[in-house]
Structure 1
Amino acid sequence: MSSPSPALCAAAAASCSTPLRVASPVVRFRRSGAPASVVSAARAAAAAPAVSDDLVLRIAEQLEDSVGASSPLLDPLRSASALSLLSTRWPTRRSNEAYRFTDISYLRSLPISLPSQPLAVAPPASPYASHVHFSDGVLTSSSGAHVSALADIPPGRVRDRAAAALAASAEFADKDIFYDFNAVGAKDVAVVHVPEGVSMADDPVHIMFSYSGCGDGSMMMSNPRVLVVAEKGAEVAIIEEHFGVGQEDGGCYWANPVMEIIVEENAKVVHSYVQQQSFVAAHTKWTVVQQNTSSNYEFVEASIGARLNRHNLHIQQLGPETNTQLSTFHFSAQNKQIHDLHSKLILDHPRGRSHQIHRLIASGTGNGIFDGNIKVNRYAQQTDAGQETKCLLLSSKALVNVKPNLQIIADDVKCTHGAAISGEHDPNAIYFLQARGIDAKTAADALNFAFGAHVINQIPFKPIEKKTLSHFKALLASSRQNEK
């Protein structure tokens, strides 16, 4: 795609007008045609905020042009995010506190491209009857009684519920530039809607995301989006799996997915998330969860791929007696690999419960970041909230930045948090294994593996758990070889 027109760039640089054309109801960044149309649109939108910078504008224009015709149900979300991008600057470690420890300059190191069509490969085999496949951000297949593409949902209650959820997403206050990029660039939405009282606990929905690089020296960007709605008393298990395909397991690309989950009263969602992407790929992900009264949300993450991995996990409890369980494992071992978890849990109602476990191994020149925020507001009395992070540094060049944050406004609560960073395992544990005939190196290797397996073993589906453990074990062995 060509660069923005001179008239458009001049209007943005002057900060006196905004290159917008409002084509109801979706905001347009640019209009093809004579420059006069661009100038007229800029004048018409003079009251709007100035464009952030050329890079954000170019990416937004590329995304808008690539989407083409899409479901009108996405229009409110797309329009709100387009407007937001006009006043959002590219985040840097100096200008944005949320990226203080996260170097995302890798995203600017290569030109951004967008897939013209999904890679012509058959959908990966899934051991589960209900499954969804995204190829380079394009929804290519879906199967299951309660699984569908947004565009294929007929008029009725399910369509109305999805429309209401997406319209509400437009008001999400904690979003960032990557959330907005996804909203503007999502071609379709995979919708998992579980009706009231229906249980899919034994029939998980397997959502597969495959990515491929275009091989022309650019970073191909994709923006898949998923909406999960578990109605009152419903139960559903979600397996979310991200991986590269093709040469070198997908090569260079930028995956920018968003998953939104609504857990209604007395409903339960079990969410397993595995990220095993190419080590020259970038992965910026949002997971947004809303929990209502007496609902349960259980989340297990294993991220062991990508050169740049940033996960924003945002959960809000919207009713009393709500339970949230979060377990995350990151393994950062490749050259300058970055793994970053930014989580935010908001408790607003009485007798809420939450427990968060974060574990990270960094070796070589790997970099790990954990910024965990739990906010217990005034009316969240009798809350029981716990947070624990443990990190292992297996190399003198590895780096970890940990920032646990527990903000308590209520006065009748039970809240704990702890953080530990170590360069080696407890000598007592090593001695325990040596006393049983195991040499010190093998004992250390076993303890390193067990450190990550503690979280991976919580994936409740054996085929996914075994595959993830096998991949982690191979990467751990490879990192040991590189240290020699």
Structure 2
Amino acid sequence: MALATSLVASPPCLQWRRRPTANFLPLQRRRSLSIKAIADPFVLELAEKLEESVLQNPKSTKTLSTLREKCTQEALSSKWPSAKDEPFRFTDLKFLKEATIQVASQEETENLDSNSLDQSLDAKSQRVVLIDGVLNKSLSHTAGLPDGVFAGSLSSLPETFSLPPLENDCGDLFSSLNGIGTRDLGIIFVPEGLKVEQPLYIVYFSRQGSDLQSEIWVSNPRLVVVLGKGAELNIVEEFRGGEKRSYWTNSVLQVNLEEEAKLFHSFVQLQKPGAVHIKWTFVQQGTSSSYNLVETSTGGRLNRHNLQIQQLGPDTVTELSTFHLAGENQIQDLHSKIILDHPRGYSRQLHKCIVTHSSGHAVFDGNVKVNRYAQLTDAGQLSRSLLMAPRATVNVKPNLQIVANDVKCSHGAAISDLDEDQLFYFLARGVDAQTARNALVFSFGAEVMERIFDKDLRRRVENDVRELLAAEGAIR
């Protein structure tokens, strides 16, 4: 890696001299450019692999090229995060750096049988299916969507449609790596005033992987959701994987809600036990818009969700409900940030987590920032964690920053085992100890799961949680 050697001794600044005829240049060709940066050799090697994989993509557009160049600059000026970095103080990523990272290839996926994804793909459902980060037309089903709604890939987007700026400035290294490695964008657009009655399913399936923990295959799906003024939509994101246990889904979702738009968002993460799931969700809310997220995450060796929400006008409504289940050798991590800049904003956040094994680990870092002009804001945040085994670990950091002086805000956190008073309540009414314990443990997460809009999906998630709790001995 001659390029890496030449970068290590340079000062930490990054400058580019762009050739007028090139929108996007491979890293190998940048040897002749004036690059002054301290680049992490591992990040540089990973960026090279991602860049080489997308250069073979004939669907590359000017929009993607611009995104990739921007993200490449950001990635090369970043180091691989460690425990010394505050956002990753409790989330160890050393195993990823020690593994051999392979990029999911562009093998043909159009002929895949839906049985390989699971029976949950109902032929009548409105859905968009992404295999290893690329939209699969044969498995997607969007013909029944109302006129004017677009659900497809960037490469098939009509020229008359203009995308909003692609977010990445407030992300981190992983959103930058996604921008470098994404092979095509998924686009969902609902025009002004249109209300889509049926939920739209977004199924992410990781097909390529390895049986070796030392070899991890990465895919980089990226989805953009745009709702016009007064539009309404219900989307369900579901992440799953194939038989191979070792893979990494590094995804980004960007949501733009215009005035009075409403988005109901269900996010279900059911990855394999050896998988890595890192997700960025960027949400921008216009005046009087509403965003409602219900998240359940039970799979993966590592699950980290970075969630950033910013209001662009007054009278916005934001509601976030999250349930995480951390079992043996699992890390469940939620980092959220809600930025309130305008008057009369309303936000509620509920985070709940069960850690069932002594090697399980949960992390919650929730930041609500009420800035100077966000008067009459009503914001609440609550985190509750249930530890079911000795040495089970949870790190919780609720954070409420208030600059405005006329607000109603609250936040709190609780970490405990089962409440003995609640157990006694059941026992005093003739319910045996094990039945009472089962009811209390499951109902702890059911408060979030029951908010999933789709009944079939809710039932599948509840069954999955019951099976995992029973496997860990938390219930019988």
Deviations 1:110-167 (A, max 9, x none): 20001223566324423654211111122212432421111001211x2x1x2x332x
More helix by share: 1
Q: Matched residues in 2 for 1:126 and 1:355: separation?
A: 33
* TM-score using structure 1 length: 0.89
Q: RMSD of aligned C-alpha atoms?
A: 2.0
Partner of 2:343: 350
Q: Matched residues in 2 for 1:273 and 1:309: separation?
A: 13
Partner of 2:228: 231
Which one of the candidate residues 94, 101, 122 is aligned to 2:113? 122
Partner of 1:397: 391
Q: Matched residues in 2 for 1:21 and 1:65: separation?
A: 21
Q: CA deviation at 1:76?
A: 2.2
The one-letter code matched in structure 2 to 1:402 is V
1:8-87 equivalences in 2 (<5 Å): 8-15=3-10, 22=18, 25-31=22-28, 41-46=30-35, 49-68=36-55, 69=57, 70-87=60-77
Which consecutive unaligned segments of at least 5 residues does structure 1 have? 32-37
The more displaced of 122-131 and 380-389 is: 122-131
Partner of 1:99: 88
Which one of the candidate residues 463, 467, 473 is aligned to 2:460? 467
Partner of 1:90: 80
* TM-score using structure 2 length: 0.91
Partner of 2:318: 324
Q: CA deviation at 1:29?
A: 4.5
Q: Matched residues in 2 for 1:292 and 1:303: separation?
A: 28
The question of whether the paired residues in 1 share the 8 Å contact of 2:135 and 2:152 is answered with no
The question of whether the paired residues in 2 share the 8 Å contact of 1:178 and 1:256 is answered with yes
Q: CA deviation at 1:26?
A: 3.7
Deviations 1:51-71 (A, max 9, x none): 421110111111111112412
* Structure 1 residue matching 2:456: 3-state secondary structure: helix
* Structure 2 residue matching 1:199: 3-state secondary structure: coil
The question of whether the paired residues in 2 share the 8 Å contact of 1:342 and 1:370 is answered with yes
Q: Matched residues in 2 for 1:345 and 1:25: separation?
A: 38
Q: Matched residues in 1 for 2:440 and 2:211: separation?
A: 42
Partner of 1:34: none
Q: Matched residues in 2 for 1:28 and 1:362: separation?
A: 46
Aligned length: 453
Which consecutive unaligned segments of at least 5 residues does structure 2 have? none
Deviations 1:87-119 (A, max 9, x none): 10000011x111111111221232000122356
1:209-358 equivalences in 2 (<5 Å): 209-215=204-210, 217=212, 218-245=215-242, 247=243, 250-334=244-328, 336-358=329-351
Identical-pair percentage: 43
* Structure 2 residue matching 1:345: 3-state secondary structure: strand
The question of whether the paired residues in 2 share the 8 Å contact of 1:21 and 1:28 is answered with no
Asked if residue 109 in structure 1 is aligned to residue 79 in structure 2, the reply is no
Deviations 1:212-246 (A, max 9, x none): 3433642000000100001000000010000112x
Partner of 1:165: 165
* Structure 2 residue matching 1:480: 3-state secondary structure: coil
Q: CA deviation at 1:435?
A: 2.6
The one-letter code matched in structure 1 to 2:221 is P
Q: Matched residues in 1 for 2:22 and 2:277: separation?
A: 30
Q: Matched residues in 1 for 2:66 and 2:280: separation?
A: 19
Partner of 1:363: 356
Deviations 1:371-427 (A, max 9, x none): 00000000000000000000001011210000000000000000000100002x222
Q: Matched residues in 2 for 1:81 and 1:419: separation?
A: 36
Q: CA deviation at 1:30?
A: 2.2
Q: Matched residues in 2 for 1:18 and 1:42: separation?
A: 14
The question of whether the paired residues in 2 share the 8 Å contact of 1:221 and 1:255 is answered with yes
The more displaced of 435-444 and 354-363 is: 435-444
The more displaced of 65-74 and 183-192 is: 65-74
